[in-house]
A and B are shown apart, each in its own frame.
Chain A
Amino acid sequence: MAEVKVAPRPLSPHLQIYRWTWTMAMSVVHRATGIALYGGIALFAIWLVALASGPRAFETVHWFFGSPLGLLILFGYTWVLLHHMLGGVRHLVWDFGHGMEPGVRINMARFTLIGSVVLTVLIWAVALLLF
């Protein structure tokens, strides 16, 4: 009987093998922000349920979101949300076959980071001034 030799199967290289590029970094951040939003939406659900439960529950939750830690979480959440949104728009542009060229796709990746930071600061500035 012939011996069956099992050759080691080829493995595709993982993240640490590659040189980091803008598109790769923003792709990783897009997925990470998606996961953060997935967990973070529970905070909104808690806030809504507290509002529906009555003044006492609401005051407790409202106090937490108004605390330095709560505000920090909300500020971070704003950026995460906007980054995921701009990243999503970038993906929709790609879905239509546009923006695949090297220069364009790197600029689009840079824009998701810069745009999300600028928009976050802008939204908080406007919110603090208006409300």
Chain B
Amino acid sequence: MADNRVDTRVSMRTPLSRVKGLGASGHGVEHWWIHRVTAVSNIPLIIAFVIIVAALAGSSYEQAIAIVSHPLVAIILLLAVISVTNHMRLGMQIVIEDYVHDKGLKIAAVIANNFYAVIIAVACLYAILKVSLGRILI
């Protein structure tokens, strides 16, 4: 944030505050930016995800294990889970901040949103790793 005033010496802000340039909120455009970055990374990952799920649809237990434990499939699924859970967490926070006006309720909803995203992420990551690494260890 550029400081365009003629004489910045009269400012009440400390030099450190001015250098950081974050203002009263204490943070900048990270939320918006990571939402865009994950939107971009989602595109190829979701295309691959749709193909993988289509291949999994008619498969038996053994076939499904074989597909998910293939390194390329496992890596794509792991990346997709990381990208998607971050994107959906940021997106839902925007929705909450738009529609939940009560302050306490808003904080509770944002925390619940974070918990949900992390639970989904850990459940998926654990399952993919167990299925793919389990086959090596047996």
Identify the A interface with B (CB < 8 A): 31, 34-35, 37-38, 41-42, 44-45, 48-49, 51-52, 55, 58-59, 62, 65, 74, 78, 81, 85, 88-89, 91-92, 95, 123, 126-127, 130-131
B65, chain A: closest CB distance, angstroms: 7
> Is B92 a contact partner of A127 (Cβ separation < 8 A)?
no
B132, closest chain A residue (CB): A52
- B120 close to A52 (CB less than 8 A): no
| Complex interface residues of chain B between 5 and 22 (CB less than 8 A to chain A) | none
> 18 other contacts beyond A34-B91, A45-B124, A52-B127, with CB at 8 A cut-off?
A31-B95, A44-B53, A45-B120, A45-B123, A45-B127, A48-B131, A49-B123, A49-B126, A49-B127, A51-B64, A51-B65, A52-B130, A74-B57, A85-B43, A88-B42, A89-B43, A92-B40, A131-B58
B48 contacts the other chain (CB 8 A): no
B124 contact set on A, CB distance < 8 A = 44-45, 48
B82 at the interface (CB under 8 A from A): no
Is B36 interfacial (CB 8 A cutoff)?
yes
A92 lies within 8 A of B130 (CB): no
Q: How many residues of B contact A (CB 8 A)?
A: 32
Interface contact tally, CB-CB below 8 A:
76
A81 touches B57 (CB 8 A): no
Contact across chains for A81 and B127 when beta carbons are under 8 A apart: no
What secondary structure prevails in chain B residues at the interface with A? helix
Tell me if B126 and A52 are in contact (CB < 8 A): yes
- Contact B123–A85 (Cβ < 8 Å): no
A85 contacts B120, CB within 8 Å?
no
Known contacts A51-B68, A52-B131; decide if A35 and B123 are in contact (CB<8 Å).
Answer: no
Q: Which residues of A contact B55 (CB under 8 A)?
A: 131
From A38, A59, A92, B39 is in contact (CB under 8 Å) with A92
